[in-house]
A and B are shown apart, each in its own frame.
Chain A
Amino acid sequence: MTIIAQLVTSFIASAGFAILFNAPRRTLLQCGTIGMLGWILYYLLHEHRMDAVAATVIAAILVGVLSQISARVYKIPIIIFNVAGIIPLVPGGLAYNAMRQFVEDDYNLGLQLSTKVMLLSGAIALGLVFSEVAKQFSDRYIFKIKKKSKSRS
């Protein structure tokens, strides 16, 4: 039951963000799906006691790879897909808690939580970079795309 709730809410959340960023109308469903899959992977890994940072890296890689594929299929800049896709992974709740600790004069806990926020944001970045590198690698060695051709996505 919670899984279904998570699936539905993360889909709406990602698609809603696509609307806020004014993504092309025909990509709203894909944006929502990518965000949903990334979040569900993170959620399941985290439920099975994986560390949040590692789970975020893996989920971000999934988001990145799915975005690369959709960018190629729909011939649209990749930014449209991965912006909406990573939104559910952004550690908004933790950042809020960290700030709340600072306001309540608990600087130790505040600093701990902020460090975690930094690590999680870095994890998202790392995941996106991994997928980027994987794409360049596959372009060059698996699909043998020539340098001049349209490898823009």
Chain B
Amino acid sequence: MENKLFIARVCTLAGKIMLKCGAETYRVEDTMNRIASAYGLRNAQSFVTPTGINFSTGFADPSNTIRVSGRTTDLQKIAEVNSISRKIDEGDLDAVEAFRLLKAIEKAELAFPEWMQIVAAALLSGCFTIMFNGTWIDFLPACIAGGIGYAVVLTIASMIEVRLIADFFGSFVIALLAVVFIKTGLGAEMDKIIIGAVMPLVPGLLITNAVRDLMAGHLLSGMSKGVEALLTAFAIGSGVAIVLAFL
């Protein structure tokens, strides 16, 4: 019994890390079931939604519920957990060692430093302006607006729990900056600057995940992620719209 419980802890820990880092729901369930069956639990059941995990080792066994709040995007951690579950699957890792490794991954700070993320956001904003047929005059303004906008989102997201507010203020600042650039003559086309600079906020991961989950038959998760993506898009849109409305 003790052993079963420990295996359940390993499974749910792996699932929790993956879910927190933005993995698709079906991958979370799949990983937990694979780990369980590799450790000899043939009848383990898992049910995962974007906000929680339900895992049971078999009939009439205790089932565990893990609440997951606050999702971020961290593809690196997903890859690490995936490689651990591969090793377990191949029989190279016992449960105690796996648990220790997973704990280490959960605590690790693998993210790129914040300044690097802001630089990346700035660069890609400028690039998107060119891709949407903007002129090179607008490259630098879009970079600056995109970088500052993303920095605003990061700062507000660390202060306020509601992610929508951060997106809203981020796109608001971007639109304001674009207007300033046009008025001072530094930029040529306001639309292109705003479109490019807003791109780092676009919920691309949510959209792909929603589709993948829907296709795998996880209707509940697919729908809720789709709604989350829609809400984010709405927040970005209204931030820009408020500035445009006062022009």
User: Which A residues are closer than 8 A to B by beta carbons?
Assistant: 5-6, 8-10, 12-13, 15-25, 39, 75-77, 79-80, 82-83, 86-88, 90, 92-93, 95-97, 99-100, 102-104, 121, 124-125, 128-129, 132, 150, 152
- Secondary structure type dominating chain A contacts: helix
B24 touches A21 (CB 8 A): no
What residue of chain A has the Cβ atom nearest to residue B136's Cβ?
A5
B82 within 8 A of A: yes
Contact string against A for B residues 108-136, beta-carbon threshold 8 Å, 1 for contact and 0 otherwise: 00111000110011011011101110000
Interface of B is mostly: helix
Stretch at the interface among B52-60, B93-101, B160-168, B237-245: B237-245
Q: A17-B124, A79-B75 are in contact. Are A90 and B215 (CB under 8 A)?
A: no
Check A16–B121 contact: CB distance below 8 A: yes
B195→A93 contact, CB < 8 A: yes
- Enumerate chain A residues within 8 angstroms of B116, measured Cβ to Cβ: 19
Inter-chain contacts of A39 with B (CB < 8 A): 131
Nearest-neighbor residue (CB-CB) of B24 within chain A = A79
Docked complex Cα distance between A82 and B75 (Å): 12
Residues in B neighbouring A10, C-beta threshold 8 A: 127, 131
A150 touches B79 (CB 8 A): no
Given contacts A96-B198, A100-B244, contact A128 B212 (CB under 8 A): yes
Known: A9-B127, A76-B82, A102-B241. A124 touches B207 (CB 8 A): yes
Does the CB pair A128–B120 fall under 8 Å? no
| Residues of B within 8 A of A (CB-CB), count | 53
Identity of the chain A residue whose Cβ is nearest the Cβ of B241 in the assembled complex = A103
Q: Which of A17, A22, A103 contacts B244 (CB 8 A)?
A: A103
CA distance A105 to B62 in the complex (A): 58
- Given A10-B127, A83-B205, A150-B86: A93 touches B211 (CB 8 Å cut-off): no
Q: Give CA–CA (A39, B85) in the complex, Å.
A: 34
Any A CB within 8 A of the CB of B46: no
* Cβ-based interface call for B204 (8 A): yes
Is B27 part of the contact surface with A, judged by Cβ < 8 Å? yes
Q: Nearest-CB distance from B8 to chain A (Å)? A: 21
Please judge, given known A-B contacts A10-B127, A80-B78, A96-B191, whether A20 and B24 are in contact too, CB under 8 Å: no
Do B78 and A83 have beta carbons less than 8 Å apart?
no
The reply to whether A90 and B131 contact each other, CB–CB distance below 8 Å, is no
Residues of chain B contacted by A23 (CB below 8 angstroms): 75-76
A2 to B4: give the CA distance in the assembly, Å. Answer: 61
Would B195 and A92 count as touching, CB distance under 8 A? yes
A-B contact pairs, 26 of them (CB 8 A): A8-B127, A9-B131, A13-B124, A17-B120, A17-B124, A20-B73, A20-B120, A20-B200, A22-B111, A24-B75, A24-B76, A24-B79, A39-B131, A77-B75, A79-B212, A83-B205, A87-B204, A88-B128, A90-B207, A92-B198, A95-B237, A96-B240, A104-B244, A124-B207, A124-B211, A129-B211
Whether B127 lies near A12 (C-beta < 8 A) is: yes
CA gap between A1 and B75 in the complex, in Å: 34
B199 in contact (CB, < 8 A): yes
Judge whether B23 is part of the interface by a CB distance below 8 angstroms.
yes
Q: In the complex, what distance in Å separates the CA atom of A129 from the CA atom of B215?
A: 7
How far in angstroms is the closest Cβ of chain B from A1? 11
